[in-house]
Amino acid sequence: MIKLSAENGWVAKDQYGIQYPWYASDMLELLDKMDLRGKYVFEYGCGHSTHWFRSRGAFVDGVDSDIDWADVAKVKFEKYYNEYTNRIHNSKYEWYDIIVIDGIYRDDCTEHALKNLKPGGMLIIDNWMQPSVEPNEWTRTLELTKGMKSEVFAQEGHPDWKTIYFIKP
């Protein structure tokens, strides 16, 4: 069981010392059971999650609004550019298996995410409707995800931290 608490700074590391993404612990449990080898992941907001997904064999692309954080997280698009363009040009690349929204303009990212998420793919949104992070009406996201299978995970011991996932039909 992955334990997150205020005492450990809401941080957990796996058996190899790689920090888990900062998602609610039940979402981490779900992801931890998935075989991510060869999966294509896109992140709106990079960081520890980028390293964690890559450590499990996923190919990760992403963007981040904070260039200093991206540098600290060692997110370098150039490093993956050739692999990314080869996948597109060789027609092996269709859509992403998982897209994570954990950056700024979360509601605005949903439409683009759903256009690039393959059927059956998972859209993960951290800090879902969490006023302490980003006050957001979520109007577009609620409309675009209406009727999709979803599950919300609230973090035990935290006043408002939630992570949600949707499965694209």
CATH code for the domain defined by 36-167: 3.40.50.150
Q: Which of 124, 108, 113 is nearest to 163 (CA)?
A: 124
**Beta strand pairing call for 59-63 and 96-101:** unpaired
Q: Is residue 36 a contact partner of residue 53, using CB atoms and an 8 Å limit?
A: yes
What distance in Å separates the CA atoms of residue 57 and residue 117, rounded to the nearest whole number? Answer: 19
Radius of gyration of the chain from Cα atoms?
16
| DSSP per-residue letters across 26-37 | HHHHHHHTS--T
37 phi/psi in degrees, rounded to 5? -60, 125
Q: What is the pLDDT of residues 54-110, one digit of tens each?
A: 999 999 888 877 777 777 665 544 334 444 444 443 435 458 999 999 988 888 889
**Beta partners for 96?**
117
pTM listed for this prediction: 0.86
Q: What is the rounded distance in angstroms from the CA atom of residue 147 to the CA atom of residue 166?
A: 10
Tens digits of per-residue pLDDT, 109-145?
898 899 889 999 999 999 999 887 766 678 899 999 9
The residue assigned the tokens 């993404």 is: 21
Does residue 33 carry a pLDDT above 70? yes
